[in-house]
Amino acid sequence: MINFMPVLVMNGILFVITILLVIADRLLITYGKCRVTVRQDDKVDEFVVDGGNTLLNALIENHVEISSSCGGKGSCGYCKIRVTKGGGQILPTEEIFMSTREKRENMRLACQVKVKEDMEAAIPDFLSVVREIVVQKKFDPKKRWKVTIR
């Protein structure tokens, strides 16, 4: 019979470390209240959110419509938004979805941007986002939409 005690002890230690990291994140890292201003077409929405969450979640919580077919996992590239103030530098997980022009224009993926300070953003027309994905040849239906049922 195999002795599982070392495996159980190691899993217990990893579980405790995970819990401690979550608690430390909640208690030590606080961004406070952040004001988010979003422009979409002729409409301007402004709301205050708790910092630390993603911009996509802040938009959804405040009933701002934005497309995101992957549910905020950073794998579809549909939640493109132009961040004009705040947001920090573009992340490597976003770069694969952005053309050079979009990088210059401060386009970001809302699911990857953390709200850490007051932000201003503009949501582009969804059709223009999809058109840019097709032009860049970033859309591969064989990889992105393949569903296998076993």
Domains of the chain by residue range: 1-30, 33-139
Q: In the structure encoding, which two tokens stand for residue 8, read together?
A: 């159980």
Q: Residue 135: which pLDDT band, with cuts at 50, 70 and 90?
A: confident
pLDDT value, residue 98: 87
* Helix (H) / strand (E) containing 40: strand 33-40
Residues 69 and 76: their CA atoms lie apart, in Å, by 6
Percent of the chain's residues with pLDDT above 90:
38
Whole-model pTM: value is 0.69
pLDDT tens digit sequence for 30-88: 778 999 999 988 889 999 998 888 999 999 999 988 888 888 888 888 898 999 998 88
Q: Which of the four pLDDT bands, split at 50, 70 and 90, describes residue 120? A: very high
The answer to whether 90 touches 103, Cβ cutoff 8 Å, is yes
Q: How confident is the model at residue 140, as a pLDDT?
A: 58
At the topology level, CATH places domain 33-139 in Ubiquitin-like (UB roll) (3.10.20)
Residue 142 predicted with pLDDT over 60: no
CB 138 within 8 A of CB 77: yes
